[in-house]
Structure 1
Amino acid sequence: MTEQTPPIDAPPQGERPSLSQALTGGEDRRLKVVAVHAHPDDETLATGVALAHHAARGDLVHVITATLGEEGEVIPQDLRHLEGDPALGPHRAGELHRAMAALGVEHDYLAAGSSRLSKPRWRDSGMAGSEAAAHPRAFAGAPIAVAADLLAERLGILLPDLVLTYDAQGGYGHPDHIQTHRVTVAAVASLPERLRPRLYAVLTPSSWAREDRAWLAEQVPAGTGLTVPTPDDPFPPSVVDDALVTHAVVDPAVVPDQVRALREHATQVSVRDDAAAPYFALSNDIAARLPGREGYAEVDPDTGDLIR
C-alpha cells in the first residue's frame, strides 16, 4: 500500500460528498466497509479506488466474492490453456488472494457457513445465453432468498457501516452482476434496522465517462493493439446522468495500489503504463482509464431504488 496518513478523504467532486463524509458527517471515525462482487477482479475494477482509499484511511475493509470466475476468458498466451479448464477457478482464487493483499483488505466467499468461507457455494454463470448458465450451481440461477440469507448471515458477523455493490443493471449487464445486486439488496433489507448498513451502488457520471474517453484518445499510443472508444460509442448501463450520482470517492493517490491489485489478476486484465497515467484492457482489447475516482448512489434496500 502507498504510505498515507489518515484521514485522506478527498474534497467532494462538485456537490458530491465522499462515502465516509456521508456516514460520519466529517468526524474522524473509522468505518467497516464491505464490497460484494460476482467474480475475482470485479472488486478491483469496479470498486478498487474505494477499497484502497478506505483501507489507507484505516477503515476495516472486506470483500465477499460469489464465484471463482470459472468462465473467464484468459488473456496471456502462456496461461491460455486455463481457459475452459477446471483449473481456472482455483488459479483465479490465487489471483484474488494476492490482489486483496495488494489493496490491504480482507476477503472471503459467499459460502454455506463460516467454516466454508474458502470455497464459494456457486459458480460463474458466464455471459447471458452461455451453456454455463444451465449449470446447476450457476450463481445467476441461485434462489435469491437462499443466497441473501447466507450474505445476511455474513453481514451480521462483520457488522459493516457501508456495503458496496453493482447497480441494478450489474454495471454492464452480466447475469452474475445483476444477481449480486439483487442478492445484496435482499440481504441488507433482511437485517434488523439497528444492524442495517448503508448500501451504495457503483455508477459513473456521464461527464466523467466522456472525459475518460477524451483522455484515452490523447494518451493511448498507436500500435498498442487496443481499441479506444469513440465519443459516439455506446456506454454501459452504469454510465448515467450526472444528477443520479450523489457520492464520489476521488483519490488519485491510491491508483498505484489499484494497479498492483489489477496486475495480480493477470488472466483477466492487461495493465498498460505507457502514457501519462496507467490504463487497462480486458479480453475485448478495449482501452479503459484508471482515473482514481468512482461514483456512487445510495440504494434503498426495501425498494431497490436509488435514493435521490
Structure 2
Amino acid sequence: MTDRLTLMAVHAHPDDEVLGTGGVFARCAAEGIRTVLVTCTNGEQGDAPGGIKPGEPGHDPEAVRALRLAELRESAALLGIEHVELLGYRDSGMDGWEANHRPDSFWNVPVDQAAARLADLMRHYRPQVVVTYDENGNYGHPDHIQASRITLAATAATDIPDKLYYTAIPRESSREMFEQLRAQGQLDFEPPEDFGTPMDQITTYVDVAAYVQRKVKALEAHASQGDSVPFLRMPSDLQQLILGTETFVRHRNRVAAAPAQETDLFAGLR
C-alpha cells in the first residue's frame, strides 16, 4: 500500500483514539489520507454498564470486552477511520491493579513479540506518519507505556515511518482546563503539578476545530466508560476550546522539508 499518504495511530484501549487523535483522524479522512487505528487491548478492565468497576460484583470482563469493541467500531466509523486493527491483548488495568500481574495482560507480553505483529502491520500499510504515546504513556498507564514500547521497536525494525509523534497534553493550558472543570464541579481529583508536556517541547499544533462535534459523538459512542463524561458535560464553547486543537511531540523525523514547528503531521510530505 504505497499509493496514498497514510496515518497510523497505535493506542492502548478502545476509546483512547478519540481525545488525542480523533480530530486528526477525521481531518485526514476528509483530506483523502488513509487512516489506520491499531488498538492493542480489548478493554476488559474498563467499566461495566452502570459504572461497575473491575473486581466489583457484576463486572464481567468478557462482556465488557464485547461491549467496548462494539463501541470502538462505532467511534471509528464516526471519525472516518478506514482500517481498525485489533492486536487483541488483555487489558492490564491501571498501575497497581491486580490485572497488572496476569501473564496474559498486555503489560506482560514480551515487547519483541507484540512489536513483530505491529511491524507486520506497518509493512502492510506503509504509514509515513505514526502516532503513539511517549515513554511514560503520557501518565504512567502500563498499557500506554507498552504501546509506546512496541511502536518504537516496530519503527526501528521496519524503518518505514518518516515521522513518529507522541500525543501530548500541553501542561500550561491543561491547568486552565482543570480550573474550569473544578469550577463546574466536574473535577474529583487533584492533577499532579507536572501533569502534561511543557509547551516548549510541543512541536506540532493541529487545528481540528471543524471536527469537534465528531469527537464529541465518538466520545458518546464509548458510553460505557465514565472517563469521557466530564468532556460531554462541558458547554459547547468549552468543548470547542479544549477539543479543537490536538498537540504532539515529534520524536522521529527524516523529512528535510518539515519545519521545526508544525501545524500538520504531514508537513513536508505533501
Q: Into which bin does the TM-score normalised by the smaller protein fall?
A: 0.7 to 0.9
Deviation at 1:210, TM superposition (A): 2.8
1:163 aligns to what SS in structure 2? Answer: strand
Deviation at 1:178, TM superposition (A): 0.3
Of the three residues 164, 167, 170, the one matched with 1:199 is 164
Paired residues of 1:110 and 1:150 also in contact (CA < 8 A):
no
Instruction: Give the whole-Å Cα distance in 2 for the aligned partners of 1:177 and 1:78.
Output: 23
Matched, 1:208 2:173: yes
Match of 2:27 in 1: 53
Paired residues of 2:5 and 2:127 also in contact (CA < 8 A):
yes
Match of 2:72 in 1: 96
Instruction: Give the whole-Å Cα distance in 1 for the aligned partners of 2:175 and 2:210.
Output: 22
- 1:241/1:82 CA distance change after superposition, 3 Å: same
Deviations 1:24-53 (A, max 9, x none): xxxxx9621000011100111222122122
Paired residues of 2:181 and 2:187 also in contact (CA < 8 A):
no
Structure 1 residue runs of 5 or longer lacking an equivalent are: 1-28, 112-119, 280-288, 302-306
Deviation at 1:213, TM superposition (A): 3.1
Match of 2:105 in 1: 138
2:84 aligns to what SS in structure 1? Answer: strand
Letter in 2 for 1:164: V
Structure 2 residue runs of 5 or longer lacking an equivalent are: 254-259, 262-270
CA RMSD of aligned residues (A): 2.8
Instruction: Give the whole-Å Cα distance in 1 for the aligned partners of 2:58 and 2:242.
Output: 27
Aligned pairs (5 A) from 1:144-223: 144-192=111-159, 195-216=160-181, 220=184
Aligned pairs (5 A) from 1:1-308: 31-74=5-48, 76=50, 83-111=59-87, 120=88, 122-192=89-159, 195-216=160-181, 220=184, 226-227=186-187, 233-235=191-193, 237=195, 239-268=196-225, 269-270=228-229, 271-273=231-233, 275-277=235-237, 279=239, 290-300=242-252
Letter in 1 for 2:142: P
* Identical-pair percentage: 35
Instruction: Give the whole-Å Cα distance in 1 for the aligned partners of 2:215 and 2:194.
Output: 22
Deviations 1:153-209 (A, max 9, x none): 1010001110001111101111000000010011001114xx333110011222321
2:93 aligns to what SS in structure 1? Answer: coil
Paired residues of 1:159 and 1:197 also in contact (CA < 8 A):
no
Instruction: Give the whole-Å Cα distance in 1 for the aligned partners of 2:143 and 2:234.
Output: 33
Paired residues of 1:110 and 1:151 also in contact (CA < 8 A):
no
- 1:258/1:82 CA distance change after superposition, 3 Å: farther
Instruction: Give the whole-Å Cα distance in 2 for the aligned partners of 1:149 and 1:107.
Output: 19
Instruction: Give the whole-Å Cα distance in 1 for the aligned partners of 2:105 and 2:162.
Output: 28
Instruction: Give the whole-Å Cα distance in 1 for the aligned partners of 2:90 and 2:246.
Output: 28
Paired residues of 2:8 and 2:36 also in contact (CA < 8 A):
yes
Q: Which has the higher helix share?
A: 2
- 1:82/1:162 CA distance change after superposition, 3 Å: farther
Paired residues of 1:199 and 1:298 also in contact (CA < 8 A):
yes
Instruction: Give the whole-Å Cα distance in 1 for the aligned partners of 2:247 and 2:98.
Output: 34
Paired residues of 2:132 and 2:167 also in contact (CA < 8 A):
yes
2:35 aligns to what SS in structure 1? Answer: strand
Deviation at 1:57, TM superposition (A): 2.2
Match of 2:256 in 1: none
State the aligned residue count.
247
Instruction: Give the whole-Å Cα distance in 1 for the aligned partners of 2:10 and 2:29.
Output: 16
TM-score (norm 1): 0.72
Deviations 1:100-138 (A, max 9, x none): 000010243344xxxxxxxx1x21011122221222211
- 1:87/1:74 CA distance change after superposition, 3 Å: closer
Instruction: Give the whole-Å Cα distance in 2 for the aligned partners of 1:129 and 1:98.
Output: 31
1:240 aligns to what SS in structure 2? Answer: coil
TM-score (norm 2): 0.81
Instruction: Give the whole-Å Cα distance in 2 for the aligned partners of 1:109 and 1:290.
Output: 28
Of 157-166 and 200-209, deviating more is 200-209
Paired residues of 1:171 and 1:236 also in contact (CA < 8 A):
no
